[in-house]
């Protein structure tokens, strides 16, 4: 596997060289000292995986990731000092196309061994993704439909309103990530089921989303697609304050779901889901954010609006109708070209 390293710190580059030297099948193709150089090198010598730092002169890691994915796409792993302190930047990079993130390994000592092992494990995980993804590119896009919803503070009531307005014959599979402790998730699923014509239950490891069924994330780990059809839970990234994370789920939709999808971000505190919604829009999915007037807490949808992540910003009572329109097969070709509307 050919590796490109993007880092302006010589000690960090040396630590990465030593970590990769453990595995003879990992070849360093080139080293770039800033994002602009990395974009040029990727265009001339595209590696299998780029190890991308976040903070650099000339062009930072987020901008470099965005340019690489536009010009010469390849797998990008964010490798930076202290992921926990750079969570927002990490998710900006993932929204731009990076697949995962890991801390920069130390140069020597026990921390170096642990850091090298973590780095190589991430590279191996990305390598395992590459083979099936190349096969999938030759496969016609699935006609399966997915409604991906994220919510936090004020979310239960908003979800009850939205689900209650969906018809019994709603054709899309629905998956919800609501910030809720696992102790309350099952009770919340039962309560929502009573508010909706659609059955609502907690999402279990290995579940395949089905039309007309609503699945709710139900652990303190992150719900995500493990492949094109199956759901699973992961503890990573561990440093995220939001558990389960809407961003992690939306990002997995972008990376692995092969059918049509609509992303909806409802009321909530903070920024979780905004970058993931932006990534969904960038892929061509229709995206909706709840408006300020009907949000109990205008945090998450506000962050999405600031990123221009939402094709439409709508009051809660209008979202169900917009979903029916978005999933209308006759309008599929127009979904990605709607101008953003604010009603």
> For the chain, what is the radius of gyration of the CA atoms?
20
What CA–CA distance (Å, rounded) separates 83 from 15?
Answer: 17
Active-site pick, 33, 144, 152, 252:
152
Q: Beta 200-202 vs 222-225: how paired, if at all?
A: unpaired
Query: What token pair was written down for 233?
Result: 């839970």
Residue 40 annotated as catalytic = no
Residue 295 annotated as catalytic = no
Query: What token pair was written down for 146?
Result: 């997915």
What CA–CA distance (Å, rounded) separates 11 from 139?
Answer: 43
Query: What token pair was written down for 23?
Result: 């595995």
Q: Is the peptide bond before 178 cis (omega within 30 degrees of 0)?
A: no
CA distances for 111 relative to 10, 222, 299, angstroms: 18, 26, 38
What CA–CA distance (Å, rounded) separates 127 from 251?
Answer: 18
What CA–CA distance (Å, rounded) separates 332 from 325?
Answer: 9
What CA–CA distance (Å, rounded) separates 310 from 341?
Answer: 9
What CA–CA distance (Å, rounded) separates 248 from 175?
Answer: 13
What CA–CA distance (Å, rounded) separates 342 from 321?
Answer: 15
Active-site pick, 53, 60, 221, 272:
272
Residue 252 annotated as catalytic = no
Q: Determine phi and psi for 340, rounding to 5 degrees.
A: -65, 135
Active-site pick, 60, 100, 179, 252:
179
Known catalytic residues are 152, 179, 272
């Amino acid at each position: 596997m050919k590796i490109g390293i993007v880092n302006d710190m010589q000690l960090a580059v040396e630590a990465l060289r030593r970590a990769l030297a453990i595995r003879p099948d990992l070849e360093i193709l080139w080293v770039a000292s800033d994002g602009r150089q990395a974009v040029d090198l990727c265009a001339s010598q595209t590696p299998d995986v780029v190890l991308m730092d976040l903070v650099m002169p000339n062009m930072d890691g987020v901008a470099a990731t965005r340019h690489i994915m536009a010009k010469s796409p390849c797998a990008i792993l964010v490798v930076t000092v202290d992921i926990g302190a750079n969570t927002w930047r990490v998710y900006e990079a993932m929204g731009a196309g990076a697949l995962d993130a890991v801390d920069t390994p130390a140069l020597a000592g026990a921390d170096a061994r642990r850091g090298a092992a973590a780095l190589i494990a991430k590279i191996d995980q990305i390598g395992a993704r590459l083979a099936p993804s190349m096969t999938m590119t030759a496969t016609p896009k699935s006609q399966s439909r997915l409604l991906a919803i994220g919510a936090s503070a004020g979310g239960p009531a908003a979800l009850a309103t939205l689900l209650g307005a969906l018809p019994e014959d709603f054709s899309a599979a629905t998956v919800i990530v609501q910030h809720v402790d696992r102790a309350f998730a099952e009770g919340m699923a039962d309560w929502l089921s009573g508010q909706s014509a659609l059955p609502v239950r907690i999402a279990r490891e290995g579940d395949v989303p089905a039309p007309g069924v609503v699945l709710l994330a139900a652990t303190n780990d992150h719900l995500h697609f493990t492949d094109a059809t199956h759901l699973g839970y992961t503890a990573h990234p561990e440093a995220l304050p939001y558990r389960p994370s809407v961003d992690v789920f939306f990002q997995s939709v972008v990376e692995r779901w092969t059918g049509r999808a609509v992303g909806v971000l409802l009321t909530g505190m903070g920024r979780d889901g905004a970058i993931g919604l932006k990534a969904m829009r960038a892929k061509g999915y229709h995206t909706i954010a709840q408006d300020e007037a009907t949000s109990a807490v205008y945090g998450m949808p506000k962050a999405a609006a600031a990123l221009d992540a939402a094709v439409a910003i709508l009051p809660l009572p209008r979202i169900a109708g917009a979903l029916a329109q978005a999933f209308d097969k006759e309008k599929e070709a127009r979904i990605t070209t709607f101008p953003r509307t604010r009603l």
